Amino acid sequence: MTNSRRAFLGQVASGIGSLAAVPRNVLGANERIRFGIIGFGDRGQQITQEAIECPGSECVAVADIYTGQLEAAKSRIPGVKTYLDHRLMLEDHAIDAVLIATPQHLHCEHFVDSIEAGKHIYQEKTMAFTVDHAKRMRAAYLPVKGKQTVQIGHQGCSSGQVTDALDFLRDGKLGRITAIDAMMYRNTPHGKPQWSRPVYPAMNPENILWKQFLGEAPEVAFDANRYRNWRFFWDYSGGNVYENMCHQTAFWYKVLDLEIPSAVTMRGGIYLWKDGREVPDTMNVAMEQREEILFSWVSGFGNASPGVTEQVLGTDGTIFKGQQIRYAPEPVNRPGAPGITGQTLSSPRAHMQNFFDCVRSGKETNCPFGLGFRVSIASRMAVDSYRLQRTLRWDSQKEEIIG
């Protein structure tokens, strides 16, 4: 298909057909799944490769608003069709599934369009950018639930550590859980800010559909840095809350079946990278769960020593999660009880494979829509708390953030 702005505009002028499509029935166990992807940046290319490596799948289409990404797709995927407008790609009834890996503020638009086109969806995290987006996505999804498969891209939900954690929780081995302490720290060499990516001359208004990038975000003049380093800006990004806290939250929300927090407080700041970014590089989030558990998450980009870890603290034992997951008893309440180390293995592409398996079987995915919804709201509460500098609460009746 086209890879130039002029040809694209000609296509639009000729009209875009209806996106409505009748969802296909559950595919046969051996039937090939043809998929397209919306957003072929770094993350999009990674999950496309994961999907291609799953048996019985085929990447047939790529949609991206930057011509450079479409050229990259053509060079990497023989015979792939490319589109500057994702809606044109969605008109292809031969496409069974869509992977969405666009900036966070565009997730709602691309998800709703893909649902209405009758596609199964693998939606990268964080699922929804705002509460309104989450509700709109839900309104589109609920009528087709059970007919169209949705997997949210919290890959840890398909890891063997989920099985191990659930085993540790059996028979009251943890007792009463009152806290979850999680951290996520990383570092980069001097002069190489976290997330910073180079801007190339080809990233210009002739090659990027700027209005499509902005979506519902405030209108601003073309800015190649905002396009390339969108993670720096609140208009398009939830910062590290949406990049990494969401993953650690999703794992334990799944394992412990936790609800949206009743209150969230976030503090921090831009203490390290004074490069024009708006999102903090050092932060602390406290989520007061309705289950009477305090979920704390701390993160920073200036030191990697603490790494990525979580501890679930119960009166009778602790779960330690990092590269490995293990259970340790509390001697005061379980004297002589043995410790346990998790042994369940999983493939690096287990989450994507689970998506395709569920497309074929019609079963619920390891990270279904409802889990993605809850994590999205918790993440939004944290970001809004930071920006407003006060504790925010969740009104579960009105489904609104208040405070």
What local confidence, expressed as pLDDT, does residue 31 receive? Answer: 85
- Whole-number percent of the chain with pLDDT over 90: 92
Task: Give me 72's structure tokens.
Answer: 């990259």
Task: Return phi, psi of residue 309, to 5°.
Answer: -145, 160
pLDDT tens by residue, 92-122: 999 999 999 999 999 999 999 999 999 999 9
Query: How far apart (Å, rounded) are the C-alpha atoms in residues 228 and 210?
Result: 12
276-250-388 Cα angle (round to 5): 40
Query: How far apart (Å, rounded) are the C-alpha atoms in residues 372 and 153?
Result: 9
- The CATH fold of domain 176-200+230-344+370-402: Dihydrodipicolinate Reductase; domain 2 (3.30.360)
**63 bridge partner residues:** 38, 83
Q: Indicate if the pLDDT at residue 284 is higher than 90.
A: yes
Mean of pLDDT values over 13-30: 46
| Contact predicate 153/128, CB 8 Å | no
Write out the E strands in 187-306.
Answer: 263-269, 282-288, 294-300
Peptide bond connecting 318 to the previous residue in cis, omega within 30 degrees of 0 = no
What local confidence, expressed as pLDDT, does residue 29 receive? Answer: 61
Give Cβ neighbours of residue 257 (< 8 Å, ≥ 6 apart). Answer: none
Query: How far apart (Å, rounded) are the C-alpha atoms in residues 22 and 313?
Result: 48
381-382-388 Cα angle (round to 5): 85
pLDDT tens by residue, 57-80: 999 999 999 999 999 999 999 999
343-376: b or e for each residue (b if 16 or more CB lie within 10 Å)?
Answer: eeebeebbbbbbbbbbbbeeebbbbbbebbbbbb
Give Cβ neighbours of residue 274 (< 8 Å, ≥ 6 apart). Answer: none
pLDDT higher at 270 or 14: 270
Name the residue with tokens 């900036």: 103
Mean of pLDDT values over 389-398: 98
Domain ranges of the chain: 176-200+230-344+370-402
What local confidence, expressed as pLDDT, does residue 22 receive? Answer: 42
Query: How far apart (Å, rounded) are the C-alpha atoms in residues 107 and 334?
Result: 47
What local confidence, expressed as pLDDT, does residue 30 receive? Answer: 65
Q: DSSP character for 208?
A: B
Give the sheet arrangement for strand 97-100, strand by strand.
Answer: 81-83, 57-63, 33-38, 97-100, 120-123, 150-152
pLDDT tens by residue, 326-343: 999 999 999 999 999 999
pTM over 0.85: yes
What local confidence, expressed as pLDDT, does residue 320 receive? Answer: 98
Q: Indicate if the pLDDT at residue 16 is higher than 60.
A: no
pLDDT tens by residue, 295-311: 999 999 999 999 999 99
Q: Indicate if the pLDDT at residue 4 is higher than 80.
A: no
Burial of 32 (0-12, 13-18, 19+ CB in 10 A): exposed
pLDDT tens by residue, 123-149: 999 999 999 999 999 999 999 999 999
Q: How confident is the model at residue 13 (pLDDT cuts 50, 70, 90)?
A: very low
Q: Indicate if the pLDDT at residue 11 is higher than 90.
A: no
pLDDT higher at 5 or 157: 157
Task: Give me 259's structure tokens.
Answer: 């609800």
DSSP labels, 94-152: T--EEEE-S-GGGHHHHHHHHHHTT-EEEEPSSS-SSHHHHHHHHHHHGGGBTTB-EEE
**Cβ count near 295 (within 10 Å):** 26
pLDDT tens by residue, 22-46: 444 456 666 899 999 999 999 999 9
Mean of pLDDT values over 173-197: 97
Under DSSP, is residue 321 helix (H, G, I), strand (E, B) or coil? Answer: strand
Q: What is the mean pLDDT of the chain?
A: 94
